[in-house]
Structure 1
Amino acid sequence: MSVLRKYTVIVSVSLSTVLLLNSCSGSKASQCQRLIQLVNQGNSLIDKNKGQQVVTSVQLSKDLEVITKSIQELNLSDPKLKEFQSRFVAVFKNLSQAIAKAAKALSVAKTAEASPSGREKLQTARTEIDTALTAAAKSTGKESDNLVKQINKYCSEP
C-alpha cells in the first residue's frame, strides 16, 4: 500500500494548486478539500499501522470505521464528488472489515495450543488472514488508487 502514500502526496499538492487557482469559486474546491483530507487520514492510518499486532489491527479497523462514517457524513453538493464519496466509503468499509477479520484470525492463531488441533487452528487462521488481507489489498487497493487518480483529476479542473 505504499502506492497510497505516493498518491496522498500527489493529491495534497494538487489540492493546494486547485485551491490557489479556484480561490474565488470555493464551493467545489472546499468540497474537494474536505473529502481528500478524510481520505488522506484513512490512508495515513493504514500506512502507519501496517504489520502491527492484533490489538493495533483491531484499533485500525475501528479507526477506519470512524473515517468511513466521517466520509459518509460529508455534506457534498457536487454530484461527481458525491459519487467519489460513496466509492471511498465502500473502499474504507471493505478495508476495515478485512482488517477486522484478519485481526480476529490472528487472535485465534496466538491462542492455538501446541497440538494437532492447535496446528489445525493455526493453519486455518493463517489461511483466513491471507485470504482477507490479500483479497482486500488487491481489489480495494486498485480501486483506491483509481479513485485517487480520478478525484485528483476532477478536483484539478476549473
Structure 2
Amino acid sequence: MNFKFRRVVTLLTFVTLLTSLTACAGSRKTQCRKLIEVVDQGNRAIATQDSSNGATTLRLAQELNLVANQMEELYLTNGRLKKIRVGFTEVFREFAIALNEMGQALEAGEKSPISVEGRTELVKAIEKVNQVSQQTSPMSEKAETLMADMTKYCPPESLQPEEPDPSK
C-alpha cells in the first residue's frame, strides 16, 4: 500500500512539474512575443542613442550587454526560437564589445591634448573607431538574417496579446 501511494505521489509530482514547465514557456505565440520584446528593447536602445561621443557610446555598450543578458535568460522551449535567441544574444553581446572599444577610442580622442602628440593620439583613435565600425558589418548582416527568420517564424499575430481561453 505504501509503495502504491509513493508511486501515485511521484506520478502526480511529475505531471504537475511537467505541466508547470510547459505553462511557464507558453505557446509559440507567447514565446515569439517574449523574444520580439527583448529584441525590440535592444533595437530601440541602438536607434535612440547618440553614439557620437565616448560616454554615450560606452553607455550604449552597457545597455546592449544587459539586453544580451536578458536574451540569454529568456526561457524558450521552441527549438527554432531558441536558435534565434542564441543568435541575437551573440549579436547584442558582440555589438556591446565593439561599442565598448569604440567608446574607449572616442574618449581617448576627446581627451587628447591640442599638440603634436595629441594629434597622433586623435589619429589613432579615429583609426580605431573606423576599424571597429568595419568589424560590425558582419554582425549587422547576422542581425538582419535573424530578424528575417524571426519575422517568418513569428507571424504578426504574435504581437497581439493572447485572448483568454473561454473553456478554462
Interval of TM-score (by shorter of Structure 1 and Structure 2): 0.7 to 0.9
Secondary structure of the corresponding residue to residue 114 of structure 2: coil
Q: How many residue pairs end up in the alignment?
A: 132
- Identify the range of structure 1 (59-68 vs 43-52) with the bigger mean alpha-carbon deviation: 43-52
Contact kept? 2:109, 2:121, Cα under 8 Å: yes
Can you list the C-alpha shifts for 1:72-94, whole angstroms capped at 9, x where unaligned? 00011001111001100010011
**RMSD of aligned Cα (Å):** 1.6
Instruction: Tell me the distance in 1 between the aligned counterparts of 2:131 and 2:46.
Output: 18
Q: CA deviation at 1:118?
A: 1.3
Equivalent in the alignment of 2:66: 66
Instruction: Tell me the distance in 1 between the aligned counterparts of 2:103 and 2:41.
Output: 21
**What amino acid is the match of 2:138?**
S
Q: CA deviation at 1:157?
A: 9.7
**What amino acid is the match of 2:74?**
L
Equivalent in the alignment of 2:14: none
Instruction: Tell me the distance in 2 between the aligned counterparts of 1:44 and 1:157.
Output: 19
Instruction: Tell me the distance in 2 between the aligned counterparts of 1:147 and 1:102.
Output: 24
Instruction: Tell me the distance in 2 between the aligned counterparts of 1:99 and 1:43.
Output: 14
Instruction: Tell me the distance in 2 between the aligned counterparts of 1:123 and 1:146.
Output: 34
- Identify the range of structure 1 (40-49 vs 113-122) with the bigger mean alpha-carbon deviation: 113-122
Structure 2: gaps spanning 5 or more residues:
1-25, 158-168
Secondary structure of the corresponding residue to residue 154 of structure 2: helix
Instruction: Tell me the distance in 1 between the aligned counterparts of 2:58 and 2:148.
Output: 29
Instruction: Tell me, yes or no, if structure 1 residue 144 matches structure 2 residue 143.
Output: yes
Which structure has the larger Rg over C-alpha atoms?
A: 2
Q: How does 1:1-158 map to 2 (within 5 A)?
A: 27-136=27-136, 138-156=137-155
TM-score by length of 2: 0.74
Can you list the C-alpha shifts for 1:30-52, whole angstroms capped at 9, x where unaligned? 10110111001100100101434
Contact kept? 2:61, 2:96, Cα under 8 Å: yes
Can you list the C-alpha shifts for 1:92-131, whole angstroms capped at 9, x where unaligned? 0111111110000011001111222211111111011111
Instruction: Tell me the distance in 2 between the aligned counterparts of 1:109 and 1:157.
Output: 45
Percentage identity across aligned positions?
26
Moved over 3 A (4+): none
- Identify the range of structure 1 (85-94 vs 52-61) with the bigger mean alpha-carbon deviation: 52-61
Structure 1: gaps spanning 5 or more residues:
1-25
